């Protein structure tokens, strides 16, 4: 059974810092890995999707990398802003069609 772990569980940083959020998974036989953000009281918004054949994806200040062999993905946020404050979740898609989610990293960026 796939297990997904996100570290750290919570993070509080001053504005402007570069951040790294970690996601690890136990079964490397994955199809894709997706990063989401969730604002309080809202659903999940997709940020980046990395296919299993890819090493990284970039969108604006966000960069996500994938290392299947070591079972890890990182989400890099450059020059963090207060508007980046949210919970960030990763979801691993495997052969069962059922994506497995981590518990998330709660990020606060203070001015």
Binding site for another protein (CB under 8 A): 31-32, 34, 36, 41-46, 49, 51-52, 89, 91, 93, 95-104
CA pair distance 13, 32, nearest whole angstrom: 29
Q: Which of 4, 57, 47, 56 is closest to 28 using CA atoms?
A: 4
* Residue closer to another protein, measured from CB, 55 or 81: 55
CB of 76 to another protein, least distance (A): 19
* Residue closer to another protein, measured from CB, 43 or 83: 43
* Residue closer to another protein, measured from CB, 46 or 81: 46
| DSSP at 72 | E
């Amino acid at each position: 059974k796939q297990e997904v772990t996100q570290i750290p569980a919570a993070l509080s940083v001053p504005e402007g810092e570069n951040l790294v959020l970690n996601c690890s998974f136990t079964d490397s036989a994955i199809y894709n890995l997706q990063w989401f953000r969730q604002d309080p009281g809202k659903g999940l918004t997709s940020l980046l999707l990395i296919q299993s054949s890819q090493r990284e994806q970039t969108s604006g200040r966000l960069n996500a990398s994938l290392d299947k062999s070591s079972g890890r993905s990182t989400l890099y946020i450059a020059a963090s802003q207060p508007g980046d404050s949210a919970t960030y979740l990763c979801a691993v898609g495997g052969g069962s069609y059922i994506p497995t989610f981590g518990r998330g990293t709660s990020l606060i960026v203070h001015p």
